[in-house]
Amino acid sequence: MNIWCDRVVDADGVRERVRFTHAGGLVAAVETDVAPRGDDVVLGTVIPGVANAHSHAFHRVLRGRTHAHGGDFWRWRESMYAAAARLDPESYFELARAVFAEMVTSGYTAVGEFHYVHHRQDGTPYPHEMERAVAAAAESVGIRLTLLDTAYLTGGIDRPLAPKQERFSDGSAGAYLDRWHELRDRVGHGARLGAAVHSVRAVPRDAIAQIAAGLTADVPLHVHLSEQPQENADCVAAYGLTPTELLSEAGVLSARATAVHATHLTGGDIALLGEAGASIVMCPTTEADLGDGIGPARELLSAGARLAIGSDQNAVVDPFLETRGLEMHERLAHGARGRFAPAEILRAATADGYRSLGWQVAPLQPGGPCDLVEIDAASARTLGSHPTELMLTATAADARRVIVGGHTVASRGRLADGTSPAQLLHDALRRFP
């Protein structure tokens, strides 16, 4: 069945009475100012599908369990390692399925899973079992997945891996690339395969260059960038370059590259990322939760980079809160409102988020994914909002229906089959006392 919407709000504005014909999960035709036909799915106010461009699904284990400890990012990281140590393919499937279910019922239609828990705890290989578990979890709830298979080789610049990091590593850039190319043929479950360099802390300069050269130009390549000042200081001390300069020298920066966080940048860093047309994934709820800081999102966009959003550690799973966090952090940092036009933050959540995950045509455009989110425009939160400003007032509770590939995957907080994400999370988290 095709889809008729009373109103469609996207980065180009507002269209009324819109009908989408779809085939093979993609939009085949778009008609405007038409009446619905008898067999159409009839919706109210709709936005294009929303991409969660940066997620670590297993970090969801830590939600509500780390605040009392205080400390900083580095202390939080120890709890993260403890959670990673408990994962095996079975428990990872169950946990990722629950997290992806929470995402899709909250209004995310696609996710980029930044995945580095590859092997057994002692570092001996699984035959792609962890990666296939994540892909199967996404397929089971109907969310689009770009699996960002991640290289992780060192415990810090010029430092060996710690025992708790062994399961993340393939040992060398060459071994990572060999496993990545094998995985491309075997990941299955409808997932797209992207790649990632964890960070300049976890992958040496020469290895970063080797990985960038060993991937074809159509493969999205993501990297954590300058999330913490210590990373910058260590990189400058070791290489005489900022992390951004190192990535540029290594051949990483281009339109296929995505930098995650990009919090502590120099003016030169911003210029390099902008000139490359790179994507930048801002994760406002995580960056606030971990005390990372507020990145120069407006400056990056003005320089020519593109913005996207991510839930990162999944302490919060709400695309609306994440998206307006872009604007609210800018207001706090600069003491002014309206740092982004509504169209700019909507584009970050939708078209440019999908672009960072390898989709060259935006959702709800002809040839693009038939992915959309129906928003309740008459809730206590949204009533009275101008349609173009719903992203600044709605929350995940206002995601009425979520459609991926032309098919309903979630409705009113539950999966299409009626399953509650809360029940899935309850069952999954029992493995992580």
**Residues 364-380: tens digit of each pLDDT:** 999 999 999 999 999 99
> CA 279, CA 282: separation in Å to the nearest integer?
10
**Any catalytic annotation for residue 261?**
yes
95 contacts 130 by C-beta, under 8 angstroms: no
Higher pLDDT, 263 or 70: 263
Nearest to residue 179, comparing CAs of 205, 206, 149?
A: 149
Question: Is the model's pLDDT at 238 over the cut of 90?
Answer: yes
Question: Is the model's pLDDT at 65 over the cut of 80?
Answer: yes
Phi, psi of 373 (to 5 degrees): -130, 125
* pTM exceeds 0.85, yes or no: yes
Residue 280: enclosing H or E segment and its boundaries?
Answer: strand 279-282
Q: How many CB atoms lie within 10 A of CB 392?
A: 18
pLDDT for 308:
98
**Any catalytic annotation for residue 33?**
no
Catalytic residue among 312, 352, 371, 376: 312
Angle (nearest 5°) at CA 58 between 52 and 62:
105
Confidence of residue 73 (pLDDT cuts 50, 70, 90): confident
Domains, the chain: 3-48+365-421 (2.30.40.10), 50-357 (3.20.20.140)
Confidence of residue 388 (pLDDT cuts 50, 70, 90): very high
| DSSP conformational letter for 162 | P
pLDDT for 75:
87
**99-155 confidence digits (pLDDT tens):** 999 999 999 999 999 999 999 999 999 999 999 999 999 999 999 999 999 999 999
Catalytic residue among 56, 59, 115, 261: 261
Nearest to residue 209, comparing CAs of 180, 251, 154, 237?
A: 251
Please list the residues that pair with 3 across neighbouring strands. 20, 41
pLDDT for 323:
97
Residue 400 tokens, joined? 């009425």
pLDDT for 337:
97
pLDDT for 70:
81
| DSSP conformational letter for 160 | P
**305-317 confidence digits (pLDDT tens):** 999 999 999 999 9
Question: Is the model's pLDDT at 283 over the cut of 90?
Answer: yes
